[in-house]
Each structure stands twice: as structure tokens, then as C-alpha cells.
Amino acid sequence: MDEKQLLQGRFRDLSDRAFLQGYMTHTAFLSASEQAVFYDYVRVREGHPDSPRLGGAAYLLYGGREDADRRAAVFLPAWMDREGFAQTEAADPQVVACLRITPLNARFADELTHRDFLGALMHLGIERDQIGDILTGPAEAYVYVMKEIAPFIREELCRVRHTSVMAAECLPGACTLQPRLEDRAGSVASERVDAVIAMVWKMARGTARDLVLSEAVTVNGRLVLSPADLLREGDRVSVRGRGKFIYRGTGGKTRKGRLYAAVQVYC
């Protein structure tokens, strides 16, 4: 049994337990490619990729914040709906905890990056799937983690690179930081996903097409199988090994009839 089949079996087991035994279940954080496997499994099992249920249980992908990149698949019992879950989780998190990490002495703190915080957490022996999004600012960072690992991090995380830090749990909505985005624009022949990817990373159109065909591209968490799929304004595109961007649509045409397309690339 390969890794994809194991993951699908995990989804099936958790959804069945939530439906048959009446309690909430969830996975650890899923990467973009694992979320694509989830949506594909929903499509195969339920006959439609946008089915609101999997095996009888309602589900949602949740990462502690709106537009989270790394998200857990949460399966709800019959007595709980998505709105009820969101309200409960916002007031008393049970699945994803938010940790605010600050230096003990801001005057002597290093300029710390996403990589620094991730490295410090994994150095504690924490698996990658226990860590969600990490948002960094000039004087603090907010890290989303699975709820059960939060107490361990609060106790054990005392240093990031050469900076002494402290971690305190806060409500997920307390984070005011936003990901850093870089505006990019250029001309494309069409809004096809391969054309826009080629423009964003200045690569040959054939290279972009091959990335799609090798199942390295997801849009809004769903795997893209055809280079001819069209992007819509607001779509979130992730390309394995390259990065991710938000498609902002087109405006105007060149003299040769090409479209001006705009994106925001995650830094």
C-alpha cells in the first residue's frame, strides 16, 4: 500500500468514526499536496469534489485562520455543523492552538524568519505535521500548532537561533499579521494555468505544462490535471518546488492581443 492509499484510508477511518460514533475527529496538518489527495478522495468516494460530506460525516479543512495554507481535515458528528465548530473553536480551541512567540529582550533579538521558527520547533523533536502556518513580524511570530502539542512548546521553546523567547497561547483570532506578498504582472496569451505559471516564474510554457502534468500544481487545494484549466480572480495557486501565488485577474490587452495578468506571490 503506497502513501496515498494510506492517507485515503486515514480519511475514511476518521470520517466513519465521526459519523458512526458521534464525536469529532481530525487529521494532523495537511500539506498542499495532501489536501489535493483529500479532495480527490472526496470526488471519488462521493461522486463530486465539492460534496459537503465524506462517508456520512460533514467535514471542513481548518488551519486556525482564514486562508490558512496548512490545514487539518476535521470530521463533524451529526450534532455539530460547520458554523457551530467555527464558533466553538474561536472561543475555546480544541483542534488548532495559536502561539504568540516574542523575544525576552527585543533590544538584543535577531531578525527571525519563518525558517528560523520552523527549525527551532522541529529541533524539539516535533513532527512537521504538528505545525501549521507560521506568520512572522518584526517583533513577534504567531505559530499555529495542533492543540495537544501546545503545552509542550510553551514549556520547551526557549530559544530561536540566538534569541531567547517565550511562547504564550492566545486565541486564533488574536493574530493580526498577514503573509508578505509581492506584486507581479506580465502579459499572457490566456488565463490558462500553465500560461500564468510561466509568466510568474519566467519559465518556458512547456516547463509550466510539464509541472501540471506531473501533478505538482494545486489551485485552491485541488490538484490540477489539465494545463488548459482557466484561473479565476482570487484563485490560490501552489506549485511544488516553486512557491505559491494569488491570481488577481487581467486588465487590458497588449497591441498583439495578449492579456495583462496580475498576481501576488508569497515571499
Residue-wise pLDDT tens digits, 72-85: 999 999 999 999 99
CA distance 119 to 138: 18
The alpha carbon of residue 62 and the mean position of all alpha carbons in its chain are separated, in whole angstroms, by: 9
CA distance 163 to 38: 38
Q: What integer best gives the mean pLDDT of the chain?
A: 94
Task: Answer positive or negative: Cα dihedral of 87, 135, 167, 156.
Answer: positive
Name the band, by pLDDT with cuts 50, 70 and 90, for residue 1. low
CATH 3.10.290.10 residue ranges for the chain: 181-266
Q: Which residues pair with 219 in a beta bridge?
A: 222, 237
Q: Are 101 and 165 in contact (CB under 8 A)?
A: yes
Name the band, by pLDDT with cuts 50, 70 and 90, for residue 14. very high
Residues 91-116 have a mean pLDDT of: 94
Q: Which residues pair with 145 in a beta bridge?
A: 97, 131
CA distance 179 to 266: 7
Residue-wise pLDDT tens digits, 119-141: 999 999 999 999 999 999 988 99
CA distance 143 to 124: 15
pLDDT on residue 221? 86
Q: Which of 3-7, 107-111, 168-172, 196-200 has the lowest mean pLDDT?
A: 107-111
What pTM value is reported for the model?
0.87
Checking if the pLDDT of 251 tops 70, the result is yes
Residue-wise pLDDT tens digits, 141-162: 999 999 999 999 999 999 999 9
CA distance 33 to 3: 12
CATH 3.30.70.330 residue ranges for the chain: 96-174
Identify the CATH class of 181-266: alpha beta
> pLDDT > 90: what percent of the chain?
85
Most confident of 47-51, 107-111, 134-138, 261-265: 261-265
CA distance 262 to 196: 9
Classified by CATH at the fold level, domain 96-174 comes out as: Alpha-Beta Plaits (3.30.70)
pLDDT on residue 123? 97
Phi then psi dihedrals of residue 172, to 5 deg: -55, -35
What does the longest C-alpha to C-alpha distance in the chain come to? 63
Does the domain spanning 3-87 belong to CATH 3.30.499? no
CA distance 85 to 61: 12
CATH 3.30.1370 residue ranges for the chain: 3-87
pLDDT on residue 38? 95
Q: Which residue has the cell 475527529?
A: 25
267 vs 45 pLDDT, higher one: 45
> How many CB atoms are closer than 10 A to CB 114?
16
Half-sphere exposure of 235 (CA within 13 A, CB side): 24
